[in-house]
Each structure stands twice: as structure tokens, then as C-alpha cells.
Structure 1
């Protein structure tokens, strides 16, 4: 692994308007979707899956084929997915134990 490749894989890019080509271009090792980083207005779970799959394909198409890590800021429930259930914070904490 080259130094540039190692350095690039430590980058985390914001999930807003990121695609597979962007992941390859920047060599990002991870993508984080924060507030407002949605694939489309009223995006369904399928839209989210398509977006992440496209980014992952870009990541796997690189020379080393190392998959990226995807994260979403959904502390109180994923309210970015249209019609998704939003649970109280304590239920989410209890599910991690």
C-alpha cells in the first residue's frame, strides 16, 4: 500500500452528494451521512440501499478492493428514511446491551 493510498483511506467524506466515482477519486475509507445528507426527498429504504451500494461498488473497484465504512448519524432513530419508525432514545440504548 502506498503512503498516499493509506492516507486517503483514513479520510471520511460527508455523505451529501457522494457517489461511487467520488469515493474512488478521493480514496475515501468512510462516508458519514449527517443531517440533511439524503439520497432524495422522501427517500425510501431502497433509495438508501442503492446509494450505499453504489458507493461500495466504487470502493471495491479500486486497486486494493478495500470496502468502505458507511455511517449515519441516527441517534434517536433513522428519521431520514421516509415512513421509518422513530424509537425513543432509551430503546436504542437498550438494544445495544
Structure 2
């Protein structure tokens, strides 16, 4: 179903978009966790080799960068999808609420 399909009921649309967002957040969370683990390995390799900048350490750091970039891409994609959908309309004051505010103030 298209996320902007006006023929769908709002409940179906909301449930589907919420589930999509939950999956995207879980995916991004997994990428960030993998990046943290890669950096832990990089620190261990640095300690083992007793010199910064070894091949294994650099490989782990590059992989961590790739996973962080993937997590960022997931969030950017979700932000673009959210921007394409209509947001909440701004509430307008009606004559009745204006009179009520004037009486109470």
C-alpha cells in the first residue's frame, strides 16, 4: 500500500507506517551496536599489537564507519518519508473559542 494512499483508512495507514518506522529504528539500532562492537575489537587489536594503526585495527574502524553511515542513511530515509506525508494541520481559532478566551482573560 502506498503510504500516501487516501483511499486507505487512517488506522491501516497509521499501523503500517508505525510498523515500518519500528523496523527502521531496530535496523539502525543494530547497525550502531555492530559499529560499537567493531570499535571494541579495534581497541583490542591496538592493545595486542602495541602500536596504533595496525591492519586489523584500521579494518575494524572502517567497518564501524560503514555501519554508522548505514544507520544514518536509515534515519535520513525515514525523515524524507515523514516529510512527504502530510503533518498535523495547525489549529485555528474559531469565533466561539475567541469569545471564550476573551471572557476568561
Provide the TM-score with structure 2 as the length reference.
0.30
- Larger relative contact order (C-alpha < 8 A, sep ≥ 6)? 2
Structure with the higher fraction of residues in strand conformation: 1
Q: Which has the larger radius of gyration?
A: 2
Provide the TM-score with structure 1 as the length reference.
0.32
